[in-house]
Amino acid sequence: MIKDDNQSLTSNEEQNDTQNPPDADNLWQLDESALAAKYATDPENGLSTAEAAERLQHNGRNELETKRTSRFVQFIKQFNNSIIYILAAAAVLTFFMHHYSDSIVIGLVIIANAIIGYVQERQAGNALERIREMLISKNFVIRDGKKLEIDARELVVGDLVNLEAGDAVPADMRLISADNFNVQESVLTGETNPVEKQEEPMTETTTALADRKNMVYASTAVTSGSAVGIVTATAEDTEIGHIQQSVSDVKQTTTPLMRNLNSLGVGLSIAIVVAAVLLFLLGMVMDTYSLPTLLIAVITMVVGSMPEGLPASTSVVLAMGTRQMTKKNVIVKSLPAVETLGAVDIVNTDKTGTLTKNEMTVTKVVTPEHTFDVTGVGYDDNGGVNFDGHLKLNGNKVDWHQDNAMEWLVKIAGQTTDAELHFENNRWELTGEPTDGALTTLYRKMTGHDPEVEEVDSLPFDSAFRFSARLADLDGQRLLMVKGSPATVLRLTDQATQTAYWDDAMDDLTADGLRVVALAYQEVDDDVTTIDAQAIGGLHLA
């Protein structure tokens, strides 16, 4: 039995209840000829180069525009808090009082504070821009009957796009062909399981976004198969573009720190002004000093009471926090956001893990005799196995090969996965489903190489029976290997006498918030060439 952990990082609103597409027509109901007529395209040869260029000129690039703030405005915003206003007033007063040294010092403090905040936010903005440029994808498009690879931002409505496993869907599209095509749509729907797509028109007049089997959407990812689709929406007109617009319309609020600083500034200002007025009135009544001398003394007290070092010290502290976050690969675009992020104690997510990186890692392996802890995060194969070839077992180093069930589990993990890992941009990237990616990574950690599969037949995962199966030749044996829901797989095994053990194990694992996947196998005759889901039984649990 194997455990994998769905890592949580970033958040999107679930869109399952969306009932209407961007276009007034129900695109999922249209056939290929109707789609071609609607978007004035050829379902075989695509758009002409001239027509694509004209549409690109008219509609703009296929990219989500972010609201850009000029450098001047960004610098001016650094002066936008009540304490800075008070210090600026104090600087003006001291200048007209001919206390030039005080005026200069206060002015330098104000400018230094603005420069610190501006420089930090510009660095964060530049980092985000570089990341944005790195994320520009390329896709194969058919134009003038030729297959071309172009930047996704050059796509236009009506383009004929070819999608393969590992591709990012660059725009909203209606599929006109699909071959074993599955798409990960968790960024829109929150559901972690890939969705199987089709090319045939659907009959429903209203359907939720997650149920539109012949539509694919920008920002989702292809996990398996291939397909061809007609682009129906780009940039802000896509579903992800609508989400961006909704987010941009959210009312901006100040952070707790800035609210407290503004409150402190206002309260302090009122207190100082009241004290100054009372002292001025008291001096006039006592007639101790002349009026000009008394006025200068009161203004000097007001200026001296201003905490001119507070804005600068606050910016320095926030900048230090931003630097610490940067070392942990977190980019903070606005300095006050560091304080808000630091005040977070608990992050609540729903059962689908909407705050998700869409990346899984095997963290525990349970066999009939042992529970293994697997180290390492993501798809890097450095974790799990120490240099001496041992794995942690209940806190102690042992040779994991001594556990026969663990041996079988590693073999089955390598034989039942369809995911492939490749090293790009200084990190391991996944082509395939996250669950399969976790199994492939486990196999690589244990063996040091990629799995090699001699497949005879495969049975894809089906929600009706909640498992997938593969028939393959391994070490001179023909094996039937099953991967799926623990409850379902257990019913198909010979572990009836250990039901209590597995129930306790699953309770412990699920209590940690981990997803559970069960693996099992069975030796079969060499003449067996197909998998009969109804005949599977008597498996050995790995």
323 vs 204: CA distance, rounded Å: 53
Cβ–Cβ under 8 Å, residues 110 and 91: yes
350 catalytic, yes or no?
yes
Nearest to 43 by CA among 179, 172, 173, 139: 173
Cβ–Cβ under 8 Å, residues 369 and 541: no
Instruction: Specify the 3-state DSSP secondary structure of 202.
Output: coil
Instruction: Specify the 3-state DSSP secondary structure of 134.
Output: helix
16 vs 211: CA distance, rounded Å: 9
Angle at 540 between CA 538 and CA 542, to 5 degrees: 155
Catalytic residue (one of 287, 350, 475, 527):
350
Long-range contacts of the stretch 96-99 (C-beta < 8 A, 24+): 97/296, 97/299, 99/300, 99/303
> Residue 317, exposed/middle/buried by CB under 10 A (0-12, 13-18, 19+)?
middle
Nearest to 74 by CA among 14, 114, 129: 114
Supply the DSSP string of 1-12, one letter for each residue: -EEEEE------
Q: Say which residues have a Cβ less than 8 Å from residue 260's Cβ, sequence separation at least 6.
A: none
| Residue 534 token pair | 């109804």
213 vs 458: CA distance, rounded Å: 23
Instruction: Specify the 3-state DSSP secondary structure of 164.
Output: strand
Instruction: Identify any residues that bridge with 233 across adjacent strands, giving them in sequence order.
Output: 172
Q: How many residues does the chain have?
A: 542
Q: Say which residues have a Cβ less than 8 Å from residue 132's Cβ, sequence separation at least 6.
A: none
What letter would DSSP give residue 211?
Answer: G
User: Residue holding tokens 């999107």?
Assistant: 12
Instruction: Identify any residues that bridge with 1 across adjacent strands, giving them in sequence order.
Output: none
Instruction: Specify the 3-state DSSP secondary structure of 427.
Output: strand
> Residue 168, exposed/middle/buried by CB under 10 A (0-12, 13-18, 19+)?
middle
Instruction: Identify any residues that bridge with 227 across adjacent strands, giving them in sequence order.
Output: 163, 178
| Beta-carbon-side half-sphere exposure of residue 300 (alpha carbons within 13 Å) | 10
Instruction: Specify the 3-state DSSP secondary structure of 200.
Output: coil
Cα 394 to Cα 138, 370, 409, 542: the distances in Å are 46, 8, 18, 18
395 vs 371: CA distance, rounded Å: 10
Packing angle, helices 82-96 and 256-286, rounded to 10: 30
Other C-beta atoms closer than 10 Å to the C-beta of 120 total 22
Q: Which amino acids are annotated catalytic?
A: 350
